[in-house]
Structure 1
Amino acid sequence: MNKTHIYNSLLSIVIVLFTMTMFFSCADNFKRVQKIGVSENEPIGVAENINLKHTDSGRVDLNLLGTKMFDFSNRDFPFYEFTDGVTLYVYDEENRKSIIVSDYAIVYDKTGLIDLQDSVVITTHDGNILKTEQLYFDRNKEWVFTNVPVTFKTEQDIINGNGFDSNKNFTNAEVLEVTGIISLDD
């Protein structure tokens, strides 16, 4: 065998090994390559003037409005952040509208929870008003709740308490650990 033939054979083997190494190393890094330029702490997208509607049997039962939404669906536990607040319209079966407004909100898709924070105000379809600093809306169970202090104003009373629990239509509303004065019928 001559030197040229040995050199060409070694060169061919090196090229094949190099190509195989490159091929297999690229396959493992595909996800990393997709994330180039996207910081793990940054949203994957930003949307403005959001108008999300949820329907049940062809009828709108929830309508969420927000001026700015940050999309963190690239996280292990994805969420959507509304830093400028939201307005959530909740419709009952008779199409009566209750309104929940907050200065900040986070929507967790996996759990169906909406975490409303900072100056949360609920105005029910019959005129009752609840004020608190944090409130959860469970879309799956259609339930509203909190364990922080609340003020619930009805036509007759102002009720203070350390929590609130209700169905989404506010027909089964309960202020927990009541600390205010309540009028009772005889």
Structure 2
Amino acid sequence: MINKSLYIKSLVTVFTVTLFFSCKSNFDEVQKMGVSEDQPIGVAENINLKYTDSGRVTANLISPKMLDFTNRPFGYNEFPDGITLYMYDEQNQKNTVIADYAISYSETSLIDLQGNVVVTSHKKDTLFAEQLYYDQKKEWLFTNKPVTFRQGRDLINGNGFDSDSKFKQAQVLEIDGIITLNE
């Protein structure tokens, strides 16, 4: 009786080990099932996403639609219907970013904003551009496209812009002209 019980346990163990080692992992294939490589793996609508740091809201992203392509080798999130982004500093002062289209790359932390891009600081300095890049790691804004930058009473037109996210080091490149407004 003991030999028969030991024999059955041994058979079950051998069978289980054989199954375990003979099965190949198809996890990647299961993940891809039903998802075309040209399609996003996720779609979110009417986004109102709040980022917090130590309980304090630091940013609020609002967008009608987000497409998630993070399953690609160079993953990204696309906002085909535009974004509005509110960013709050330590004193809870609000800066605003608006764009008709945006794409955020996961690996590089770079955001490409396109179409009627408007960035307004809490001091009312305002940048108008057709395209603007934002490096999230360095907190840096830049473009080589035409821009208009309103700083105080000055309206500065040029080709290119380079600045920290707080406009403390804002610089319009290749200045075409400066207009001082009466207020």
- TM-score (normalised: structure 1): 0.78
Q: 1:149 aligns with which of 146, 150, 172?
A: 146
Which structure has the highest strand share of the two? 2
Letter in 1 for 2:140: W
Deviations 1:53-107 (A, max 9, x none): 3334443222211110011111111111101100111222221111110000011
**Aligned residues: CA RMSD:** 2.0
Aligned pairs, number: 161
Specify the SS of the correspondent of 1:77. Answer: coil
Residue 165 of structure 2 is aligned to residue 161 of structure 1 = no
Distance in 2 separating the partners of 1:162 and 1:115: 17
What does residue 5 of structure 1 align with? none
1:88 aligns to 2:85 (yes or no): yes
Following TM superposition, the consecutive aligned residue runs of length 4 or more in structure 1 with deviations greater than 4 angstroms are none
CA shift for structure 1 position 44: 0.4
Q: 1:17-44 deviations in whole A, cap 9, x for unaligned?
A: xxx9xx96x7265523431211001000
Write the distance in 2 (CA, Å) between the matches of 1:82 and 1:115. 10
Distance in 2 between the 1:98 and 1:143 partners? 14
Aligned equivalent of 2:178: 181
Match of 1:38 among 31, 35, 39: 35
Whole-Å separation in 2 of the counterparts to 1:57 and 1:119? 33
| Greater C-alpha radius of gyration | 1
Aligned to 2:128: 131
Q: Are 2:99 and 1:111 equivalent residues in the alignment?
A: no
Amino acid in structure 1 at the alignment position of 2:57:
V
Deviation of 1:172 (Å): 2.0
Per-residue deviation, residues 152-182 of structure 1 (Å, max 9, x unmatched)? 1233221101111111122221111111125
Q: Aligned ranges for residues 25-104 of structure 1 at < 5 Å?
A: 27=24, 30-104=27-101
Distance in 1 between residues matched to 2:162 and 2:61, nearest whole Å = 21
Secondary structure, aligned partner of 1:42: coil
TM-score, normalized by length of structure 2? Answer: 0.79
% identical equivalent positions: 60
Structure 1 gaps of 5+ residues are: 1-19
Can you give the 5+ residue segments of structure 2 that lack an aligned partner in the other structure? Answer: 1-17
Per-residue Cα deviation, 1:107-150 (whole angstroms, up to 9, x for no partner): 11221111111110112211122111111111111111111110
Aligned counterparts of 1:152 and 1:48: Cα–Cα separation in 2: 32
